[in-house]
Chains A and B, each alone.
Chain A
Amino acid sequence: MSSRRLSIALALLGLAACSRKTVPAAAPSGPPPSYEVRLGHDVFVHYCSTCHGEAGAGDGFNAYNLDPHPRDLSDPAFQKKKTDAELADTIRRGGAGVGLSSLMPPWGRTLSDRQVAEVVLYVRSLEKTAP
């Protein structure tokens, strides 16, 4: 009995590990992401993931040549430190607008306020849970 339980637990762990690798945004067993988060995901993948990576870890392919490196958006400490308004402000005004690196461009004229809000929601869903 206990060995069966153990194997199930192991299988679940394995599953969790796999799914984290492929779909890092969605928790393995949580409810499906809301409509806004899905829209935010699409915007993020199109405009942001080239540098920030799809999971927001700052590992997009274009990040290779960048100094400073793009922010790891999934970092819980970072997530805790920033309010939604601050995130939206940085997206709108870019790094230079908030006293950070100018390599992060301002998106306020490219994305609508609604899209920015969706991206913020998606970024919130990227937070890594404690292991």
Chain B
Amino acid sequence: MRARHVFAITSLVFLGVLAISPAKNALRPYRSLQQQFRKLGATRAHSLKEALRYEGQSVAIRQIWLPRLDGRVDRCATCHLGAADPVMAQAPEPFRLHPATAHTPSEFDRFGCTSCHGGQGPATSLEEAHGIAEDAGPPMLPREQIEAGCGRCHSGETVDEAPVLSRGRAVMTRFGCYACHLVRGHEDFRSEAPPLTTIALKTGAAWLRQWLKNPKTVDPNTTMPSFDLTDAEIDELSHALFGRTPPQELAAAVAAAEREGPGDPAAGKKIFSEARCISCHTVEGKGHGTAPELSKVATAATRGWLLAFVRDPHAFNPRTRMPQYGFSPSESRDVVAYLEDELRDFDAPKDILLPLRVNRTLAEKGEKAFRARGCFACHAGTGATVAERFGPDLNGVGDKKARSLDFGKREDLPRTTPAWLGAKLANPRSFAQGLKMPSFDLPPDDVRAVVTALLALGAQPAPEAYRSAERQPPGVIPGGELGRLFDRYRCLSCHQIGDRGGDISTAPLTHEGSKVRREWLTSYLLVSYSIRPIIEERMPIFRMSRADAELLAGAITSFYVDPAIPQDPFAGHPDSDRDIGEGERLYTSLGCRACHIVGAAGGYYGPPLTDTQSRLQPGWVFAWLKGPQKWRADVRCPDYGLTDTDALRLTAYLETLKAPAETVARGKS
């Protein structure tokens, strides 16, 4: 009897235990969500048939399987039922239609959800899928760093539809993060920081002390971070830097320059402005700001050093972006006289440029600090390669679990990877004492952008099928004489060629040879001016010799040529395609004058077309009119979808436009 009771009770308990699993499944939140969705669909449906379709949907797990994307399984659609359903526009979450992006809703089947949003694809509860649960895998990307998802496949520098990501990458390049940290694709990165062999020729002990204390307070444009050095360390480093022997020829050049007579500051001021120094530098904050602020430059460097540097900057720092100007000896004296006269700190102590009497013991300690603090990572000098990165490898930082990160003293932070990265960038020393990462003092927007770029760094590169191809062809710089001139004038500091070059100029040189006329380019190189009236004069007047200008113009116009751009666009077309009158009519009816000036009338957004004949080749004008975005992706000139005939007639008209005599004279003078 007793055994029967025991048997009955055990059976009941056993049955109860068996029932737990199906009961748990029946109570899963996604089931009630799917029922809600059916009702919502039925009320939002546009027809009875559609409504019945919603009503008939079965309750089930929905998933996207991506065999070619690491075999990823995303079950997000189990709750986000309307993500690809236009009926669900503006519906309440989790049913809302996904915003239209380059890949959605058309390519859900190719990308799934977690490839962009992160989180746990196979999970079917909110806490686990979004990674909120304590024991879940890495959480979803926060909305403000969502563009990190784009960066997993788009590993190039800029992604048009991900401005935050692109900005983060640009900040990382500018501040030289890759000098200390290994990142895929940036293995060959070399910092532009000067090799520190000529400090003793350049500046004084007092100035160097200020600089080492906090470079940003001396020059707001600098990318050198603050290392929170102690006074003792600053002293040791100063002795080390002053104790280095400068290359003999530089020491001789500086010493000789020091002995030269005075220059004319007024003439120097004019040269300074024509050289467009503030296209990169700033003076009291005015200018581009990617090169040093110059308002106190004569307090930072001796006259001899300034003079020798202005004459040949590449001898002092082979990787500087500064061009070598063609100043005559007296012109460079004038420029430096202007710097000495006006661009100095009038309140600076008199002894700021006094050299340091080097103490060998301190200098040795300083050299040790130079290595221990990682200074060498950027100031590697010539020829030396950084075999091992000073900082940790950043590949995979985007996949790091928050649990594996050391939050140290930062009790205040949410325990997430983005929060940790943000705090690390904003205040690297706040985690613990003695950490090596210096502080870059980035504004909050830049911190957010860099965190986005960092979160895009997966442990593994995206699978081959998903890697986005580079849109720009590789930029080729020829060797020989042209290569030497490109290097001398540092064209790539501002201009782009293919996928290389700076971002100061809006005129890429990739197709320059098919675009402009050789004679025009020669005169432009000699005396440059701003092509578009709304843009400030930025192209320097290099004071290059006519021989250099002719060589450069000849080489550019024969080397940077696109075979898709015809030399004579009219060849093989009937004479009626040269109808200038029809071209002029098209110019008016298309509304070109909204942006371009011809004669006295028109907008001033685009380049004036008054001297098209002398500046542009007809083949280029035709190719441009057939589709401007093909030549510069972000250009505002709209594609009018012109027929060949219309584009040719317009070309014929524009090619009749000649500048009045005095403008030509200005360009040639």
Contact = CB atoms under 8 A, between A and B. Distances in A.
Interface of A: 34-36, 39, 42, 46-47, 50-51, 61-62, 64-66, 94-96, 101-107, 109-110, 114, 117-118
B267 interface: no
B639 A102 contact: no
A111 to B, nearest CB: 9
Contact of A102 (B590, B605, B629): B590
Contacts of A105: 590-591, 594, 638, 640
A106 B99 contact: no
A19 B464 CA distance: 47
B639 A101 contact: no
B604 interface: yes
A46 B636 contact: yes
B636 A65 contact: no
A46 B634 CA distance: 8
Q: Which of A64, A94, A103, A104 has the largest number of chain B CB atoms within 10 A?
A: A103
B522 to A, nearest CB: 32
B583 to A, nearest CB: 15
A104 B534 contact: no
A106 B640 CA distance: 7
Contacts of B603: 51, 62, 64-66
Nearest to A37: B99
Interface in B609-636: 629, 634, 636
A50 to B, nearest CB: 5
Interface centre among A39, A46, A95, A110 (most CB of B within 10 A): A110
Contacts of B638: 94, 105-107, 109-110
A117 B105 CA distance: 15
B100 interface: yes
A51 B534 contact: no
A65 B589 CA distance: 17
B641 interface: yes
A101 B591 contact: yes
Contacts of A65: 601-604
A62 B594 contact: yes
Contacts of A39: 161
B460 to A, nearest CB: 28
B163 interface: yes
Nearest to B98: A35
Given A34-B99, A66-B594, A61 B534 contact: yes
Interface of B: 99-101, 161, 163, 534, 588-591, 593-595, 601-605, 629, 634, 636, 638-641
B636 A50 contact: yes
Given A51-B594, A105-B591, A105-B594, A117 B99 contact: no
Nearest to B635: A110
A118 B636 CA distance: 17
Contact of B629 (A34, A106, A110): A110
Contact of B641 (A61, A66, A95, A109): A109
Contact of A94 (B534, B591, B634): B591
Nearest to A70: B594
Contact of A109 (B101, B602, B640): B640
Contact of A42 (B163, B534, B595, B629): B163
19 contacts: A35-B99, A42-B163, A46-B636, A47-B636, A51-B605, A61-B534, A62-B603, A65-B602, A66-B603, A101-B591, A102-B590, A103-B594, A104-B594, A105-B591, A105-B638, A106-B640, A107-B638, A110-B639, A114-B100
B166 to A, nearest CB: 12
Contacts of A106: 638, 640-641
B667 to A, nearest CB: 24
Contacts of A103: 591, 593-594
B503 to A, nearest CB: 16
B644 to A, nearest CB: 16
Given A61-B534, A102-B591, A106-B638, 17 more contacts: A35-B99, A36-B99, A51-B605, A62-B603, A64-B603, A65-B604, A95-B591, A96-B589, A102-B589, A103-B591, A105-B590, A105-B594, A106-B641, A109-B639, A109-B640, A109-B641, A118-B100
A38 to B, nearest CB: 10
Of the listed residues A34, A50, A96, A107, the one surrounded by the most CB atoms of chain B closer than 10 A to its CB is A50
B106 to A, nearest CB: 10
A65 B594 CA distance: 8
> Top 6 A-B pairs ranked by shortest CB distance?
A102-B591, A103-B594, A109-B639, A105-B638, A62-B605, A35-B99
Nearest to B100: A114
Nearest to B639: A109
A42 B161 CA distance: 9
Nearest to B628: A110
Contacts of A109: 638-641
A53 to B, nearest CB: 13
Contacts of B534: 61
B257 to A, nearest CB: 45
Contacts of A46: 634, 636
Contacts of A118: 100
A50 B601 CA distance: 17
A89 B516 CA distance: 36
Interface centre among B593, B594, B602 (most CB of A within 10 A): B594
B591 A104 contact: yes
A43 to B, nearest CB: 10
A66 B534 CA distance: 16
A95 B601 CA distance: 19
A81 B444 CA distance: 42
A46 B636 CA distance: 8
B619 to A, nearest CB: 21
